[in-house]
Amino acid sequence: MRDSLLIKAAFSEKTERPPVWMMRQAGRFMKEYWEIKNKYSFLEMCKTPELAADVTMLPVNLLGIDGAILFSDILVTGEAMGGDLSFTNGIGPKFANPVRTQTDVDNLRTDVVHKLQYVADAIKVIQQRLNGSIPLIGFAGAPFTVMSYLVEGGSTKDFKLTKLMLHNEPELAHQLLSKIAAVTADYLNMQIAAGVNAVQIFDSWAQALAWDDYKEFSHRYIAEIISKLNRKDIPVISFCKGSSVFAPLMAEAKPDVISIDWNVDLLDIKKRLPGGIAVQGNLDPHILYADKKVIKDRIYRLFDRMKDEQGFIFNLGHGIMPDIPFDNVKYAVEIIKEYTN
C-alpha cells in the first residue's frame, strides 16, 4: 500500500495524478446502499462485519475510487463508553442518557476498546475483499464532536448545552474530553492493528467554536490523540468543518494531511502550512448537482491550481449529500482519473 497513489500523496510524495476518494462515498446517494439499508438498521450495518464490508466496497466496485473508507459511525466510541445510542430515520442519532453532570461523566468507561471488536473484524473482512488493490482508511470522531452528541443527546443546531459546559464548567468539559480522547486513541490504534492503511479524525462540528475555544477544547485533544498513534507508514488525516480557518493550528498537531473545507483557496492555504503536510479537498459538494460540463470545469480548475504541488488528495469540502445524482459522482471520478499532471 505504501506505493499507492493515496498513501504517496498523503506523505507528500509525487504522484502522476491526484488520488480521489470522497467523504460519505458509501452512502445514501446509491440505490445499492438502500438495498442493504432497507433490510437492516444502521447500527446492525455498522456492527455486522460482513454488512459493513458490503457497504464499504460499494464505491470501490461502482466508482473505482483510489481509497476505501471503513463503513462505521463516529458515535460508536460514545456508545462503547456507556451512551445509549439509537438512530432514527429522519431524526438521526440520539443518546437516551445525555452526559451533563459530574456523575454522568464519572459513569463513562474508558477501558472499552474490546466493545469495538466488531470494527476490527470488519476491517479484516474488507481487507480480504480489497486484496491489496487500494488502501483502506479507518476513522474516528474527534473528542469535541463526540462530546457535543453526548451532551446534547443528539444533533443540535446551536450547541447551547455543549457550550454552556465549556464556559460554565470547563473542568468538567476537560474531564469528558480527556476520557473521549483516551478511548479514541485506543480505538484508532486498534484499527491500525487490524489492518487499515490510513486514519482520518473527523471534527464535524468544530466550526461551532470560537478560535480560543477550538484551541482549548478541540485542538488540544486531537494533538494528544495523534501523539499516541502507532503511525509508522500510516498517514493521519485531520478533518474539520472550519479547517479553512483552523488549518494553521491543526498543523501543530502534526497530522500528515489536513482536509480542507471549500471556503478557501486550496493552494493559498497549502502555502501557509508547514512543508510536508499534504492537503485534501476541497470541492464544494454542491457542484456535483450541476451539469457535467460545470463539474469538469470546476474539478480541472482546482487541479490546474494545484498542478505543481506534491501532497494533494482530491476530495470534497464535506460529505456527499444523499440526493446528489450517482451518475454525476461517477462522472467526477472518471474525469479525475483521466487527468495527468
- The binding site for substrate consists of 24-28, 73, 149, 204, 318
Grid cell for residue 109 = 468507561
- Tell me which residue of 132, 67, 142 sits closest to 313, measured CA to CA: 67
CB 218 within 8 A of CB 203: yes
Cα 341 from Cα 333, distance rounded (Å) = 16
Cα 268 from Cα 288, distance rounded (Å) = 23
- Tell me which residue of 267, 322, 269, 314 sits closest to 295, measured CA to CA: 314
- The binding site consists of 24-28, 73, 149, 204, 318
Give 340's contacts (C-beta < 8 A, 6+ positions apart). 16, 17
SS3 146: helix
Q: Is 135 left (phi over 0), alpha (psi -120 to 50) or beta?
A: beta
Grid cell for residue 158 = 446551536
Q: How many CB atoms are located within 10 Å of the residue 114 CB? A: 10
Give the CA count within 13 Å in the CB-facing half-sphere of 317.
19
Cα 239 from chain centroid (whole Å): 6
Taking the CA atoms of the chain, what radius of gyration do you get in angstroms?
19
Cis peptide before 282 (omega within 30 of 0): yes
Q: SS3 letters for 19-37?
A: CECCCCCCCCCCHHHHHHH
SS3 196: coil
Cα 32 from Cα 294, distance rounded (Å) = 26
